[in-house]
Structure 1
Amino acid sequence: MTGNCLIAQSGGPTAVINNSLYGIIEESLQSPQIQKVYGARRGVYGLLNQDYIDLGQLSKPQLEMLRMTPGAALGSWRYKLSTHEIEIIVAHMQANDIRYFYYIGGNGSMHVAHLIHQAAQKKGYELNVIGVPKTVDNDLTQTDHSPGFGSAAKFLATSILDMSMDIMSLPKSNRITIVETMGRNTGWLAASCALGMQQETGIPLLIYIPESPFCEEKFLRDVQKKYEQHGSALVIVSEGIRDGAGRLIADSALVRDAVGRPQLGGVAGYLKDVITTQGAGLSARYILPSIWQRSGMMFSSGVDVEEAYLAGKHACYHAKQGINGAMVTLQRKKRPFYAVEYGSVPLKEVAGKEKLFPLEWYDADSHFVKAEFFDYIYPLIQGEVSIPMKNGLPAYQYFIS
């Protein structure tokens, strides 16, 4: 099928999302059936308003710089689409002879891609829709892991190791340090902080994930015990932790985002206040890595960078093979050494669904992860990336205005 292709990025960006973009662009520019390669500015906004950029006009150095640039170079936008707006997007694609559409994003984005695929089929318009996985939350189903997770995990683990070095430097004046991670309803990122304790520091670490009910009274007892034994403690809380009834901790302060989901965050501040007011004289502070954990390119994983790039290329391979309405998957091969193979799964099987952290990998009594998780995550954080520098700072490449 001959025509143009369109690429969009969606949801929260990652340190490696532009590697998937680069992989799609590179492969599409080499494909004889692709006439023009477009990118939609600001994700859904560009799709709705036909705000496209001709990616084929960019120079080779500009494109190559994408591989070392965090954030979404095309831009993203959180917006809940109506059925009518999905139809408008398909009409715009038809008007521009878009025959291949690649959507880089998480489970919500895969839902939108599925709706676009269905709308094109209903209209009788031949459009090949392929989703490319991306999320630091690692909550996409049907794939061993998602590009973006490994780098965010490496960033957080490095941060925890650095923090523990600082805490050890002041053994007589420490307090409880609470670090809040992203992850929405899953604890993958919070669990990854355990990697920072694999070097012996003597600083106790407690990890709380959404999949295991949070008990405030037990939390206070655990913190008090660790402090009495060690004089300090590091506490990792996922932004989406819930109590036994399924209620978000500190939910009274939450608002809704542009797509109607609770805008998570603030649980670390809440727990800091719980400790200082109810913790028998303990002092506490909280640290919010916030968006830094998903944009820290200096700590990105070499494996993650390469897999994101290859996920983009395989999206094009799948499209050329006639695969449609599907998402690229990464599946771990059963070998003595780490390797993945790239497959595909229908969008309807991943759209809007979440992969939770396995409770069999988590010890709810000690609030720490088990050996199986370390076996899973260590391969994903391997390798370093050399960032091009200018005047002592990273040199990045963006397209959006």
Structure 2
Amino acid sequence: MKGKAVVGQSGGPTSVINSSLAGVISKALEEEAITKILGMNFGIEGFMNEDFFDLSAQSPEVIKGLRGTPSSALGSSRHKLVEDDFPVILEILKKYNIRYFFLIGGNDTMDTVHRVELYCREQNYELRGIGIPKTVDNDLFGTDYTPGFPSAARSNILNVLQAGVLARDMKKVDQFVIYQTIGRDAGWLAAATALARKKEGDAPHLIYCPERPLAPEQMIEDAKECIRKYGWVSIVVSEGLLYKDGTPVSASQNKDKFNNTEFGAMGGASVALNVHRILTDALEGARGEFQITESLIMSAFDRSEPQDLDMAYKCGQEAVRLACGGTSAVMVTIKRNPDCSFSLGQAALEDVAVKARAMPREYINERGNDVSDEFLNYMTPLISSLPQFVALENKFYKE
């Protein structure tokens, strides 16, 4: 089937999403069935406005350079499709003779690909729609991990590691440090910071994820115990953390177009700030600070994982290979092999769309304030070597 291909990027940017785009372009240029490759400027919204990049006309230097460029080169969109959008989309597909439809994004993005592909099938318009996974939250079903997650995890790990060294060395009074990660429905990024620890007493001491509700009294008790043992406490919290009654710790009331709660700066509220208030009231005389990175960790290319960049590129290439081979209505997935290497697979879009994969219960300890060994075993193959910092010894020398 000959025709044009179109690709778009949706949701938050990452340090590897452009590597997936490079994979799509490079593979599409090799396929005789694809007559031209177009890029949606600002996702499905740009598509409906017929706002396209001519990706076939990009220089080899630009295509290669995308593999080493963060952010989202095509822009992004969080538009939720409504019924009136579909006839418009079909008309544009026909106008440009677009037969290959690719979107790079998370579960909401997979919903867009799924609905467009299904509508075209119902209208007897032959279109092959493939989803390419991307989300730093790591909450997509059907894939061992999502491109973008390992690099964002590494960025968070380094932040917590270095902030921990700073807090350890600078403390004069009881001190607490709160670090907030992205993670709307799942705590993968918060949990990943456990890899910052190399020995007893290293940051982070406590980790709280959305999969387990926060009990303030227990958190205060845990924090006091850490301060007793180490003289300070490092706490990592996910932005989606909830109390036992289901209300957000951030107190955010804002919703996006997909009815997802918006946290952090976008929501005008913050888990880290509210946890800081709880501990300030409970820990008399203690000094506390909080750190919120938001999108900084999503596109920190200097902290990207080489394996993550490579798999993102391969996912883009695999999407084109599948589509040109006759496959449609699937998302490319990453499979973990017994030797902890990774290979590619596929999952039905209907099984992936608008669903968030929480961390398995066994990945969180019984008290709900840290991760388990099972989680560390899952994470270790995803993160390359980390810096090794030291502390001075023999403090009490006197003449």
Quote the Cα distance in structure 2 between the aligned partners of 1:275 and 1:151. 31
Check the 8 A contact 2:276/2:288 in 1, yes or no: yes
Matched position secondary structure for 1:83: coil
CA deviation after TM superposition for structure 1 residue 171, in Å = 3.4
Quote the Cα distance in structure 2 between the aligned partners of 1:383 and 1:314. 28
Cα distance 1:163–1:174, how it changes in 2: closer, same or farther (>3 A)? farther
Quote the Cα distance in structure 1 between the aligned partners of 2:369 and 2:173. 25
Superposition map of 1:251-270 within 5 A: 251=251, 253-265=252-264, 266-270=270-274
Pair 1:104-2:104 in alignment: yes
Which stretch of structure 1 is more off in the superposition, 194-203 or 52-61? 194-203
How big is each residue's C-alpha offset from its partner over 1:360-389, in whole Å with a ceiling of 9 and x where there is no partner? Answer: 1111426111111121112112379xxxxx
Quote the Cα distance in structure 1 between the aligned partners of 2:65 and 2:201. 38
Identity of aligned residues (%): 34
Matched position secondary structure for 1:50: coil
Pair 1:372-2:374 in alignment: yes
CA deviation after TM superposition for structure 1 residue 223, in Å = 1.1
The alignment's TM-score, normalised by the length of structure 1, stands at 0.92
Quote the Cα distance in structure 2 between the aligned partners of 1:39 and 1:297. 22
- Find the partner of 1:273 among 277, 282, 286: 277
CA deviation after TM superposition for structure 1 residue 317, in Å = 1.3
Quote the Cα distance in structure 2 between the aligned partners of 1:230 and 1:199. 12
Cα distance 1:44–1:174, how it changes in 2: closer, same or farther (>3 A)? farther
Matched position secondary structure for 1:277: helix
Structure-2 residue corresponding to 1:116: 116
Quote the Cα distance in structure 2 between the aligned partners of 1:140 and 1:12. 14
Structure 2 counterpart of 1:288, one-letter code = I
Check the 8 A contact 1:167/1:174 in 2, yes or no: no
Check the 8 A contact 1:133/1:329 in 2, yes or no: yes
CA deviation after TM superposition for structure 1 residue 259, in Å = 3.3
Unaligned runs of 5+ in 1: 385-401
CA deviation after TM superposition for structure 1 residue 173, in Å = 4.2
Matched position secondary structure for 1:68: coil
Quote the Cα distance in structure 2 between the aligned partners of 1:366 and 1:11. 30
Structure 2 counterpart of 1:362, one-letter code = I
CA deviation after TM superposition for structure 1 residue 271, in Å = 0.9
Cα distance 1:242–1:312, how it changes in 2: closer, same or farther (>3 A)? same
CA deviation after TM superposition for structure 1 residue 168, in Å = 2.1
Structure-2 residue corresponding to 1:43: 43
- Find the partner of 1:313 among 317, 333, 344: 317
CA deviation after TM superposition for structure 1 residue 283, in Å = 2.7
Structure-1 residue corresponding to 2:355: 353
CA deviation after TM superposition for structure 1 residue 48, in Å = 1.4
Quote the Cα distance in structure 2 between the aligned partners of 1:270 and 1:7. 40
Cα distance 1:200–1:300, how it changes in 2: closer, same or farther (>3 A)? farther
CA deviation after TM superposition for structure 1 residue 355, in Å = 0.9
Check the 8 A contact 1:155/1:299 in 2, yes or no: yes
Structure-1 residue corresponding to 2:175: 175
Check the 8 A contact 2:250/2:263 in 1, yes or no: no
Quote the Cα distance in structure 1 between the aligned partners of 2:378 and 2:86. 38
Matched position secondary structure for 1:382: coil
The alignment's TM-score, normalised by the length of structure 2, stands at 0.92
Quote the Cα distance in structure 2 between the aligned partners of 1:54 and 1:199. 52
Pair 1:157-2:157 in alignment: yes
Check the 8 A contact 1:206/1:366 in 2, yes or no: no
Structure-2 residue corresponding to 1:218: 218
Cα distance 1:326–1:194, how it changes in 2: closer, same or farther (>3 A)? same
How big is each residue's C-alpha offset from its partner over 1:331-363, in whole Å with a ceiling of 9 and x where there is no partner? Answer: 11112xx32221111100101111111111111
How big is each residue's C-alpha offset from its partner over 1:114-146, in whole Å with a ceiling of 9 and x where there is no partner? Answer: 110111111111110000000000000011111
Quote the Cα distance in structure 2 between the aligned partners of 1:66 and 1:122. 36
Check the 8 A contact 2:179/2:236 in 1, yes or no: yes
Check the 8 A contact 2:164/2:204 in 1, yes or no: no
Matched position secondary structure for 2:62: helix
Which stretch of structure 1 is more off in the superposition, 132-141 or 355-364? 355-364
CA deviation after TM superposition for structure 1 residue 174, in Å = 5.5
Check the 8 A contact 1:14/1:294 in 2, yes or no: yes
Unaligned runs of 5+ in 2: 265-269, 387-399
Check the 8 A contact 2:239/2:250 in 1, yes or no: no
Matched position secondary structure for 1:342: strand
Check the 8 A contact 2:364/2:370 in 1, yes or no: yes
Structure 1 counterpart of 2:8, one-letter code = A
Structure 2 counterpart of 1:294, one-letter code = M
Quote the Cα distance in structure 2 between the aligned partners of 1:244 and 1:74. 40
Structure-1 residue corresponding to 2:205: 205
Check the 8 A contact 2:120/2:127 in 1, yes or no: yes
Check the 8 A contact 2:212/2:368 in 1, yes or no: no
Quote the Cα distance in structure 2 between the aligned partners of 1:204 and 1:16. 26
Check the 8 A contact 1:303/1:383 in 2, yes or no: no
How big is each residue's C-alpha offset from its partner over 1:180-203, in whole Å with a ceiling of 9 and x where there is no partner? Answer: 000111000000010111356544
